[in-house]
Amino acid sequence: MRNLFSLAALAIVPSVQALEFSFLFSDTLSQAFGAFDAETPVTITIALDNGGTSVESQIWTPADLQSIEFNIGNGGYVATIYTPFGGTFVSGNTFETDADGNVSSSNFYGYSADSTNYTVTDGDSVQFWSLYAGYDYLLTSTGSVQASNSLGVTDPANWSQVGAVPEPSTVAAFAGLGALGLIALRRKRA
């Protein structure tokens, strides 16, 4: 019986899977936006997936961008734009990490939103988004969103990693291992 469990465990041990990594930029609004006053907290979260399994020494290109979320007032207004994106990136754009996994380049900018690939609270419509220093970060039918530190979005020191999202097959494999462990425990107690 022990050999059967060993073989079953080997069959479902997950292989190394690509991970989606998320990075966060935090600031405050430089001007009022809708019902939100200047100095209201604003965060920008981007999700990237280049097929890598580690955050160390990675380079993500525009093709690796999965989604970008603008969160104003701690969830009071949230706009999420996701792939496939409309518009075009300025050439040479990359988002990079160093050998320690710290952001070393954050040069994603020059993009418009495809009118069908976003979700926004309150039925607002996204017209444009950008991660370019000195420009509005988000332009919607409500108005424009710009952070107080408008130059900061291209400063790697202002970004932090907020997590990696495992592939669904990895989650399923670990769930299978947990189920086998419970079966083994019940048999041992019986």
Q: pLDDT tens for residues 69-99?
A: 999 999 999 999 887 776 666 667 888 999 9
Per the listing, tokens 């990594």 go with 21
Cα angle 53-59-60, degrees, rounded to a multiple of 5? 85
Please report the pLDDT score of residue 4 as a whole number.
47
Q: What confidence tens digit (pLDDT) does each residue in 29-81 have?
A: 999 999 999 999 999 999 999 999 999 999 998 888 888 899 999 999 999 98
CB atoms within 10 A of CB 25: 23
Per the listing, tokens 């993500």 go with 60
In this prediction, residue 120 has a pLDDT band, given cuts at 50, 70 and 90, of confident
Per the listing, tokens 């999700």 go with 47
